[in-house]
């Protein structure tokens, strides 16, 4: 579904992603781990259009998408959450979700200016869909709160909810469990599985190994921008090079 | 749900009462022989529309403009000149000039949309200055330069709205139409995109919003509003001269917006009404106009960050809470 081939991205002299190749398989949860500064977020930024790789190809559903702008990637069917929470803090919770639907709404500017019937119906559907999604992630009661007033863990859930609103085929999660307590992490684990059941494939960055072991079908390890290892979670856990990278990095 | 319905009905009632008062106001003003009020009210209508335009680009999408006097000028001169040479009815020339301003606004925003706040403010100041210079020293004196330019009043089915009191209903109708359009826009996909860009443009981009296009769109729609107001001004006063379109005018729009309250339904109304009435009251001190705007702006920035409307809302919320406590 998503194939990344030999992607390299440089920040001046620093090679943040060095010849990285990987694949996100249909209907699976793919994990991406690595020590701090390994280049994981940068890799997400390449896929999601924030950066254009200096070299390499990103192929989504048979089409090369490297060099697309973020809004185009979202429209194409890949949406994401952010490591540093990136919500519209003053907007209400449900409004954040409807903004996430942007690329799926078809009303024109004139429809909007004159509130045509088509626009009203679309808005009504969007609102109902947002409530459905909020229910799905367990934030329905908070729908009218300003997003910025939510707890850290709930803001992470809202980011996921907002990302789901564009009906993505692939969801990129950048450390969704950061700042969550144990209960919230368990709920997140369940939520990810439910998301995959909806037909959305997931690529997830996460430092919590326990969570990762339970979730990922397949894993990639980045170290100093380079792919260090890949394989099933158990293989990765017992891979000496991976253990070395983590211990050496601490 | 029931409560919401009740609220909706009582809001409707309030709206109807306000509308009724506005519709009957001319009768009242005529009875008490306060004709001069029509002049002020006409300007209030014009400024509400102009400032609402600025609110779309500044209040909702977070892009500063210190050059909106230019759009006001394009609407005014565009319509007046077009009417003089083509004899197309004034209302149509006002709309055409507003579309022209929208196109120019988009053209300005296209390069400017990449600029950050302070550079954008410089670019818009420069734009305002360019338009002012073109109007003041036009080729072939097409604008009448410093002598000014006389033009016709709006006429509806041959009936000329050539006094301030006749202009009243046209002004009121225009305000209602433009406020309705603004409100529709804000409560739509487009308005949400504007606000999302203001709140967090990176996230907006990631959520599928073409940030640049929406910034351009905001400028274009904003220019349309302010230019239409400019057209109203030209054909209400029936005379325009470069003085009206100086930098000071852009500052006036911004003062009204900030003083009334940005990104709100009633902010531009509160702002236009209060600043214009204040202006009238301080007529003798015209020299100090910019000083007064400066002081008003300071007050807003320091004491009333939400503007008058924001302050009004805060008070209303407090009263409501008290009411609940009593029950
Ligand atoms: N915009 C940028 N400009 C320059 N260097 C950058 C930029 N973004 C990231 N880097 C550098 O690139 C490297 C990879 O950073 P990245 O954020 O991708 O790491 P990460 O694997 O996500 O780490 P973490 O686990 O801490 O989130 C780091 O050395 C970082 O300092
Ligand atoms: Mg990171």
Whether residue B114 is contained in a domain is answered as yes
State whether B62 and B171 are in the same domain.
Answer: yes
Please report the DSSP string for B74-123 in residue order. HHHHHHHHHHHHH---HHHHHHHHHHHHHHHHHHHHHHHTTS-HHHHHHH
- Ligand 2 centroid–CA A39 distance in Å is 7
User: pLDDT tens across B186-196, in order?
Assistant: 999 999 999 99
Whether residue B289 is contained in a domain is answered as no
Q: What is the mean pLDDT of the segment spanning B151-178?
A: 89
Domain count, chain B: 2
Cβ within 8 Å, pair B188-A91: no
State whether B21 and B41 are in the same domain.
Answer: no
Whether residue B130 is contained in a domain is answered as yes
Confidence tier at B149 by pLDDT (50, 70, 90): very high
User: pLDDT tens across A3-38, in order?
Assistant: 999 999 999 999 999 999 999 999 999 999 999 999
Q: Which residue is closest to B220 within chain A, CA to CA?
A: A109
- Ligand 1 centroid–CA A200 distance in Å is 27
Chain A hits for B221, Cβ within 8 Å = 109
User: pLDDT tens across B82-99, in order?
Assistant: 999 999 999 999 999 999
Alpha-carbon distance B211 to B205, whole Å? 6
pLDDT value of position B3: 67
Q: What is the mean pLDDT of the segment spanning B275-304?
A: 81
Please report the DSSP string for chain A in residue order. -EEEEEEEEEETTEEEEEEEEEEE-TT-EEEEE-STTSSHHHHHHHHTTSS--SEEEEEETTEE-TT--HHHHHHHTEEE--SS----TTSBHHHHHHHHTGGG----HHHHHTT-HHHHHHHHHHHHHHHHHHHHHT-GGGTTSBGGGS-HHHHHHHHHHHHHTT--SEEEEESTTTT--HHHHHHHHHHHHHHHHTT-EEEEE-S-HHHHHHH-SEEEEEETTEEEEEE-HHHHHT-HHHHHHHHHH-
State whether B119 and B20 are in the same domain.
Answer: no
Residue B324 has pLDDT above 60, yes or no: no
Q: Rounded to the nearest 10 degrees, what angle do helices B117-136 and B90-112 cross at?
A: 140
Chain B hits for A100, Cβ within 8 Å = 207-208
Mutate to test the pocket of ligand 1, among A9, A13, A15, A16 (most ligand atoms within 8 A of CB): A16
State whether B148 and B207 are in the same domain.
Answer: yes
State whether B158 and B230 are in the same domain.
Answer: yes
Q: Looking at the complex, report in whole angstroms how far the Cα of residue A180 sits from the nearest Cα belonging to chain B.
A: 22
Comparing CB atoms, the residue among B191, B208, B221 nearest residue A166 is B208
What is the ipTM for the molecules in this complex? 0.94
Domain containing B115: what range? 36-250
State whether B8 and B42 are in the same domain.
Answer: no
Query: What residues are in contact with ligand 1 under a 6 Å CB criterion?
Result: A 11, 14, 16, 34, 36-42, 83
State whether B27 and B46 are in the same domain.
Answer: no
Comparing CB atoms, the residue among B185, B195, B208 nearest residue A103 is B208
Q: Which of A45, A69, A70 to mutate to test the interface with B (most CBs of B within 10 A)?
A: A70
Residue A250 has pLDDT above 50, yes or no: no
- Ligand 1 centroid–CA A38 distance in Å is 7
Q: Which ligand is nearest to the CA of A37?
A: 1
User: pLDDT tens across B288-298, in order?
Assistant: 777 887 888 88
Whether residue B314 is contained in a domain is answered as no
* pTM, 2 dp: 0.92
State whether B22 and B109 are in the same domain.
Answer: no
Q: Which atom of ligand 1 is nearest to the CA of A39?
A: 18
Q: Which one has a higher pLDDT value, B33 or A59?
A: A59
Whether residue B190 is contained in a domain is answered as yes
State whether B85 and B109 are in the same domain.
Answer: yes
Domain stop point among B235, B250, B265: B250
Q: Which residue is closest to A69 within chain B, CA to CA?
A: B205
Mutate to test the pocket of ligand 1, among A37, A173, A224 (most ligand atoms within 8 A of CB): A37
Tell me the HSE value of B297 on the side-chain side, using a 13 A CA sphere. Answer: 11
Q: What is the mean pLDDT of the segment spanning B78-82?
A: 96
State whether B193 and B218 are in the same domain.
Answer: yes
pLDDT value of position B26: 83
State whether B21 and B57 are in the same domain.
Answer: no
User: pLDDT tens across A129-162, in order?
Assistant: 999 999 999 999 999 999 999 999 999 999 999 9
Domains in chain A, ordered, with CATH? 1-77+168-250 (3.40.50.300), 88-165 (no CATH)
Q: Which one has a higher pLDDT value, B321 or B197?
A: B197
State whether B6 and B99 are in the same domain.
Answer: no
Whether residue B302 is contained in a domain is answered as no
Q: What is the mean pLDDT of the segment spanning B61-81?
A: 96
Q: Which atom of ligand 1 is nearest to the CA of A38?
A: 21
Chain A hits for B195, Cβ within 8 Å = 88, 91
């Amino acid at each position: 579904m998503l194939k990344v081939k030999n992607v390299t991205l440089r920040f001046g002299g620093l090679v943040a992603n060095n010849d990285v190749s990987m694949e996100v398989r249909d209907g699976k949860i793919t994990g991406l781990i690595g020590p701090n500064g390994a280049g994981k977020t940068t890799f997400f930024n390449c896929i999601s259009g924030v950066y254009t790789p200096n070299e390499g190809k990103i192929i989504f559903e048979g089409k090369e998408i490297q060099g697309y702008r973020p809004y185009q990637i979202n429209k194409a069917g890949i949406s994401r959450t952010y490591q540093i929470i990136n919500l519209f803090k003053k907007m209400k919770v449900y409004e954040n979700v409807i903004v996430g639907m942007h690329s799926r709404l078809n009303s024109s500017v004139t429809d909007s200016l004159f509130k045509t019937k088509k626009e009203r119906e679309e808005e009504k559907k969007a609102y109902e869909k947002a409530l459905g999604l909020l229910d799905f992630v367990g934030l329905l009661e908070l729908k009218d709160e300003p997003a910025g007033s939510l707890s850290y863990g709930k803001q992470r859930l809202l980011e996921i909810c907002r990302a789901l609103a564009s009906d993505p085929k692939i969801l990129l999660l950048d450390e969704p469990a950061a700042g969550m307590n144990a209960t919230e992490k368990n709920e997140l684990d369940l939520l990810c599985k439910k998301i995959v059941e909806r037909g959305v494939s997931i690529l997830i960055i996460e430092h919590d190994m326990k969570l990762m072991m339970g979730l990922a079908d397949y894993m990639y390890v980045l170290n100093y921008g380079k792919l260090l290892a890949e394989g099933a979670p158990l293989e990765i856990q017992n891979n000496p090079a991976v253990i070395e990278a983590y211990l050496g990095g601490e | 749900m029931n409560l919401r319905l009740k609220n909706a009905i009582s809001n409707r009632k309030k709206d109807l009462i306000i509308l009724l008062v506005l519709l009957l106001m001319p009768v009242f003003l005529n009875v008490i022989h306060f004709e001069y009020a029509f002049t002020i009210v006409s300007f209030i209508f014009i400024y509400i529309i102009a400032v609402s335009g600025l609110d779309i680009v500044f209040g909702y999408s977070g892009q500063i403009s210190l050059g909106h006097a230019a759009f006001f000028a394009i609407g005014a001169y565009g319509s007046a000149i077009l009417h003089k040479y083509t004899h197309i009815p004034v209302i149509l020339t006002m709309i055409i000039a507003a579309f022209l301003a929208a196109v120019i606004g988009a053209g300005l925003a296209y390069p400017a949309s990449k600029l950050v706040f302070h550079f954008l403010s410089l670019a818009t100041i420069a734009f305002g200055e360019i338009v002012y210079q073109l109007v003041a020293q036009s080729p072939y004196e097409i604008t009448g330069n410093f002598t000014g330019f006389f033009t016709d009043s709006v006429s509806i089915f041959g009936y000329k709205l050539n006094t301030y009191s006749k202009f009243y209903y046209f002004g009121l109708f225009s305000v209602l139409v433009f406020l309705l359009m603004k409100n529709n826009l804000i409560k739509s996909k487009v308005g949400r995109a504007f606000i999302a860009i203001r709140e967090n443009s990176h996230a907006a981009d990631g959520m599928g919003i073409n940030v640049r296009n929406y910034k351009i769109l905001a400028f274009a729609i904003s220019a349309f509003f302010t230019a239409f107001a400019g057209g109203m001004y030209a054909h209400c006063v029936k005379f325009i001269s470069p003085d009206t379109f100086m930098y000071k005018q852009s500052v006036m729009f911004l003062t009204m917006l900030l003083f009334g309250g940005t990104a709100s339904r009633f902010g531009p109304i509160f702002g236009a009404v209060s600043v214009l009435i204040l202006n009238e009251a301080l007529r003798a001190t015209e020299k100090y106009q910019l000083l007064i705007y400066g002081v008003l702006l300071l007050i807003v920035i320091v004491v009333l960050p939400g503007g008058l409307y924001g302050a009004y809302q805060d008070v209303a919320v407090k009263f409501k809470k008290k009411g609940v406590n009593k029950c």
